[in-house]
């Protein structure tokens, strides 16, 4: 069909095949988001719909104080060894910790307090000043909760989705870094039921409706739960994250009110992306072309 045929009316004598309105358009040769970033946008949308505010996570380098001590993770904990953590000797960022808060953290680790017996350890500030590549975004959550206490508590919901670094053995599903997705809710008298209900709401938005919870341990949450879901596509139960209620030994030294509880959960970005795109090796996710 040409302009001349339309103008002369000669198209009337021609036979045309019917439009195939189901035909795909011509492939667009243009850029597209990396699968990880597509899923990051999906998770961000879910959190925003649920009324969460994104935390500022643009500091890969953290100090041990916020990554471990503020979370009541003992200075002798194996996770603080170099075989799990990337310690940084340079730049040696001079860390200024709020003196009053630092004393409370030292106290709760060494002698206890707030109803806790503490670890009875000799807490050293030199250990807290060691710089590292953050091992979890929970270090950022600790900073945000401290600010919340300092600026006057009000019920708040925060989330973060960003890179974390673990000095671990690499294999087909583990690299030395991954993206952690974390949700945190601080409010009066929150319970484990609120955490479970929030996890159902969050995972329902991912199309996951069947969840199971298994008791777990984290130094900074009590109780803690591993979260599992039945994945119909894989035909099995899979671990989809970890969660818990932050301990008083973490929250009360910050100055948060005694009747405030903080529930939180975390998962990764890489695992759901690999499942969604049917990838078995995490190296196919970073640094290789995928047909979307
Ligand atoms: C060292 O590895 C840690 C990482 C990562 C993880 C684990 C725990 C946390 C946390 C936390 C936390 C706990 C309490 C308070 C605050 C944060 C964050 C990331 C995933 C957590 N996991 C994980 O993401 N699994 C997952 C998540 C979503 C998913 O969606 C699919 C559509 C169905 C599928 C799978 C579970 C496992 O993959 C696990 O083997 C690997 N985990």
Q: How far apart are CA 75 and CA 65, in angstroms?
A: 10
* Cβ(195)–Cβ(202) below 8 Å: no
Atom number, ligand 1, closest to the C-alpha of residue 207 = 32
> What confidence score (pLDDT) does residue 290 get?
52
Among 71, 144, 160, 242, residue to substitute to test ligand 1 (most atoms within 8 Å of Cβ): 242
Residue 182 near ligand 1, beta carbon < 6 Å: yes
Q: pLDDT (tens digit, 9 = 90+) per residue, 160-193? A: 999 999 998 888 777 899 999 999 999 999 999 9
Q: Which of 41, 75, 42, 47 is closest to 264 using CA atoms?
A: 47
Residue 238 near ligand 1, beta carbon < 6 Å: yes
The burial class, CB within 10 Å (0-12 / 13-18 / 19+), for 173 is middle
Q: How far apart are CA 166 and CA 200, in angstroms?
A: 28
Ligand 1 atom 11 nearest Cα: 266
Taking the CA atoms of 44, 50, 51 and 52 in sequence, report the sign of the dihedral they define: negative
Residue 163 near ligand 1, beta carbon < 6 Å: no
Ligand 1 atom 29 nearest Cα: 272
> What confidence score (pLDDT) does residue 288 get?
52
> What confidence score (pLDDT) does residue 243 get?
98
Distance 266 CA to ligand 1 centre (A): 6
What pTM, to 2 d.p., does this model score? 0.89
Among 173, 179, 267, 278, residue to substitute to test ligand 1 (most atoms within 8 Å of Cβ): 267
Ligand 1 atom 19 nearest Cα: 267
Task: Provide the 3-class DSSP secondary structure of residue 279.
Answer: coil
* Contacts by residues 191-195 (CB-CB < 8 Å, ≥ 24 positions apart): 191/261, 192/223, 192/225, 192/245, 192/263, 194/263, 195/225, 195/243, 195/244, 195/245, 195/263, 195/265
Residue 183 near ligand 1, beta carbon < 6 Å: no
Residue 64 near ligand 1, beta carbon < 6 Å: no
The list of the chain residues with pLDDT below 50 reads: none
Residue 135 near ligand 1, beta carbon < 6 Å: no
> What confidence score (pLDDT) does residue 68 get?
96
Q: How far apart are CA 142 and CA 158, in angstroms?
A: 11
Distance 267 CA to ligand 1 centre (A): 3
Q: Phi/psi zone of residue 55: left (φ > 0), alpha (ψ -120 to 50 degrees), beta?
A: beta
- How many Cβ atoms from other residues are within 10 Å of residue 160's Cβ? 25
* Cβ(139)–Cβ(56) below 8 Å: no
Atom number, ligand 1, closest to the C-alpha of residue 182 = 17
ipTM: 0.98
């Amino acid at each position: 069909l040409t302009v001349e045929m339309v103008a002369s009316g000669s198209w009337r004598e021609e036979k045309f095949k019917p439009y195939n309105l189901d035909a795909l358009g011509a492939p667009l040769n243009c850029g597209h988001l990396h699968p990880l970033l597509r899923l990051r946008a999906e998770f961000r949308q879910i959190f925003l719909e649920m009324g969460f505010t994104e935390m500022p996570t643009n500091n890969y380098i953290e100090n041990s104080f916020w990554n471990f001590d503020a979370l009541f993770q003992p200075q002798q904990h194996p996770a603080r060894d170099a075989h799990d953590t990337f310690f940084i000797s340079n730049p040696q960022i001079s860390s200024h910790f709020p003196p009053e808060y630092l004393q409370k953290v030292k106290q709760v680790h060494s002698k206890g307090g707030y109803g806790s017996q503490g670890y009875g350890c000799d807490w050293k500030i030199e250990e807290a000043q060691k710089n590292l590549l953050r091992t979890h975004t929970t270090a950022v959550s600790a900073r945000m909760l401290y600010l919340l206490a300092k600026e006057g508590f009000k019920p708040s919901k925060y989330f973060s989705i960003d890179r974390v670094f673990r000095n671990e053995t690499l294999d087909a599903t583990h690299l030395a870094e991954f993206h952690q997705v974390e949700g945190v809710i601080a409010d009066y008298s929150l319970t484990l039921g609120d955490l479970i209900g929030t996890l159902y709401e969050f995972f329902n938005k991912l199309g996951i409706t069947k969840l199971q919870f298994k008791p777990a341990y984290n130094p900074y949450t009590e109780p803690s739960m591993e979260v599992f879901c039945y994945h119909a596509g894989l035909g099995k139960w899979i671990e989809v994250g970890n969660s818990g209620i932050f301990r008083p030994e973490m929250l009360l030294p910050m100055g948060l009110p005694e009747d405030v509880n903080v529930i939180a959960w975390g998962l990764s970005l890489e695992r759901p992306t690999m499942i969604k795109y049917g990838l078995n090796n995490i190296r196919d996710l970073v640094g290789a072309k995928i047909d979307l």
